[in-house]
Amino acid sequence: MSARTARLPGGRTAGITHDASIVEATVSEQQRAMWFLERTGRPGTYNIGSTVRIRGELDVPAMKRALTQVVERHRVLRSVLVEGEDESGVLQRVRPLDETELFDETWDGKAETPFDLSTGPLVRARIERRAPDDHLFFLCFHHAVYDGGSAPVFWRELWRAYRGERLDEPAVQYADYAVWQQGRLAGGVLDRQARWWADTLSGCPVLTTLPADRPRPARPSNAGREVRLRMPEALRRGVDALAEAEGASFYMVVLAALQAFVSRVSRQDDVVIGSPLSGRVRPELREVIGCFVNTAATRADLSDDPSFRTHLSRTRDHVLDLFDHLELPFDRVVETVNPPRSPSWSPLFQMLYVHQGDITERDTPPDLRVTEVDERTDSAKFDWLVTTWQDEDGMVLSVEYATELFDDATVRRLADEFLGLLAAALDDPDRALGDHPSAAPAEAAAGATATAVPDAPAPVAAVEPVTPTEQYLAELWQQLLDVPRVHRDDDFFDLGGHSFLGIRLLNRVRLQYGVDLPTSVLFETRTLYRLGRAIDRELTAPAKAELLPLAEGSGPAFFLVHPVGGGVGCYAGLARALGRPVYALEAVGLDTVEEMAEAYLAALETAAQPPLAIGGWSMGGVVAFEMARRLEARTGRALPVLMIDSHVPDPEDEPPTEADLVSWFAEDWGAAVGTGLGPAPTTREELWQRARDHGLLEPLADAGLVERLLDRFEINLHAIRRFTVTGGYPGRVCLIRAADEPRDRDDHGWGALTTRPVRTLALPGDHYGVMTAPELAPTLARLLQEAIDHG
């Protein structure tokens, strides 16, 4: 479907002219969004890969010359995206073509291999010979220089160049479009479109998704898979027929059906589904390669239970309106609407629908047979990405989905049910949607609560910036956001911040502190005090783990790993009572148990005495077990592991809320220092005040101390919660458990992970009291002596 022609105020159509002198220019709004997404997301997520199988007598040198010619003539394909030296934002810069980089023999052909946007190249290719008449042609572009609308242009020109035909110079280059676009948008277009989007999406739902098999993770990994189905030919013809009758398109009919299906299954009358739409608004752009797509949020209100024909009519009108307001980039739409945001979900929508049309039109030479290789993704940008396209065998329906949320069987079932609803709607388009047979079984609809929006965190009391870092940030926010005052709990985006101001902010932080934070930290922290904590955490984290000697002596040493609080002061008295060398490993801000184990093993190599055994209390025992397992796998030496009330972690546990985090930390801190902090606090400010009231902080002490301690606790808590223990350890494992704690198994689950029985000893006390039990030191001393005797 083509967009309506873009016009300047007063009805004049603005033409795009070519400037051959351009080697550096502003990026387009689409490129700016892609650059930002690449910076904030998983590298490689916005790559566009294509692999075709070419049967016949392929002239490989001619194919390489043809690709080189196409890349040479379309300057955007040999451009890079760089930050301006001043505050001019991001620029596209044309670079010389290097054929050795273009045909990268080291590339394995996987589309997910990241590009470096600042150095390029942003297209790579590889030709693999399988037989004299059978080749695989691997291609990959970064989305910043290529989109679905570029594919017909690219393949048409590639095969013409392969045949030796002369290609005329493009009438305009992509950089000409970017310059034209910026001039057009400077005339107030963005402001008008922003107002339209604000009205259109006002009050829209935070989440539009399908009933999931698992709760939404706090930080998605973007892991995914793809399911493909073949749309029955009769169904495809029915879509085309209804589209023609209603003045719509294939895309509009399927989008309307998907909206109705999601509404039915999720029990939501108001649904928002994303959809990339072409921004090739000028005829001069039809033969230009580049990124012209802009992702739009399509919204549907089905509260009055319309017929499918009525709903399709509304969807058609809505899509046509979208084309008239497509020039406001999606990231600016998000900034304008300002929905609740979280690292756990994408803003405004969590599902996309894309129609790619007919992918068979390639103008291939008659002596070659070119077919698309069926490649499945292992990533997912959204909960669901539904794509339709026409190939030689008919219409394909693809669902790319997040495996953290959905099982394969669930996706296949829902996809089949969607096609069933589409068929029913086409069969009787005048019937109310609610009267069609249910598109999902009752148990699936009931499960929709699994992905409900979590409760918003309790508001934090507004206080002035406290730490030096917060005070610096407050002044910086005042300058960048043009606001008179900033409090600790103020939200960067609520004050008018947006993605590019955020990048400028982080650049200033880098210059001030030498801390290079990822752009995603802005969305994860948002408030001034949380951003300050992130900076302070980077500043105070040691470069590597170091051993802390707790007790001196001769002979082999005992190594103790920190508990979840991160400190090792809890071991001081115990170490002195053991009568042998004891070293401790304190937390240094590492995010995973795997990273901790590697760093702590490296630290062990610096010890003056060889290791006798490794152990720890609570989390410390888990990390010690992982250290011992890795050491045994490398060297064959299995050290004894001595745990103090350590449980096998369960990655399926629900993530803690902010209130949980604060109250658990308060309990841990109070027990560690031998004083209770009273009723469990649930906010950081309450925790800070309790610590001062109980004499744990002097009135004028460093205000960031509690934040740093809580940061360390939070990092370790999330690390242990995400960790899955690998079994099969052949060494001796001994667990000293707290006799007063409830338990499901005496060995806390460790017996299933070792090849020999776990020795379990019970000492009086709860989880904290066992550390102060008078029997602990002699018990550990006896176990260490046994390790020497049986070593």
Residues 6 or more apart from 39 whose CB is under 8 A from it?
503, 518, 519
Distance CA 170, CA 26 (A): 20
Mean pLDDT of 620-638: 93
Residue 701 pLDDT grade (very low, low, confident, very high; cuts 50, 70, 90): very low
For 424, the 3-state DSSP assignment is helix
Distance CA 558, CA 786 (A): 13
Quote the percentage of the chain above a pLDDT of 70: 90
Residue range 160-199, pLDDT digits in tens: 999 999 888 889 999 999 999 888 887 778 888 999 999 9
Q: Rounded distance, CA 18 to CA 571, Å?
A: 72
In this predicted structure, the answer to whether residue 402 has a pLDDT above a threshold of 90 is yes
Per-residue pLDDT, 164: 93
pLDDT digits (tens, 9 = 90+) for 281-304: 788 898 999 999 888 999 999 999
Q: What is the pLDDT of residue 566?
A: 87
83-92, 639-648, 671-680: segment of lowest average pLDDT:
671-680
pLDDT of residue 470: 86
pLDDT in tens, 565-586: 888 878 888 888 888 899 999 8
**What pLDDT sits at residue 364?**
85
Give how far Cα 97 sits from Cα of 50, 72, 74, 102, 454, Å. 21, 7, 11, 8, 50
**pLDDT tens-place string over residues 534-577:** 887 777 665 578 888 888 888 899 999 999 988 887 888 888 88
pLDDT in tens, 418-459: 999 999 999 999 999 988 875 433 333 333 333 334 333 334
Alpha-carbon distance of 171 to 107, in angstroms, equals 33
DSSP sequence for 647-663: ----TTSPPPPHHHHHH
Distance CA 481, CA 335 (A): 14
Beta strands in 4-122 (DSSP E): 24-26, 47-55, 79-83, 90-94
The whole-number average pLDDT for the span 16-26 is 89
Identity of the amino acid at 370:
V
Comparing 71-85, 290-304, 464-478, the range with the smallest average pLDDT is 464-478
Span 144-160, mean pLDDT? 92
Whole-number Cα distances in Å, 518 to 127, 204, 522, 532, 688: 36, 29, 8, 14, 28
Average pLDDT value for residue range 656-678: 77
Q: What does the mean pLDDT of the chain come to?
A: 84
- Tens digits of residue pLDDT in 315-368: 999 998 898 888 888 888 988 898 877 778 889 999 999 998 766 556 788 899
Compute the distance between CA of residue 729 and CA of residue 754 in angstroms, rounded to an integer. Answer: 5
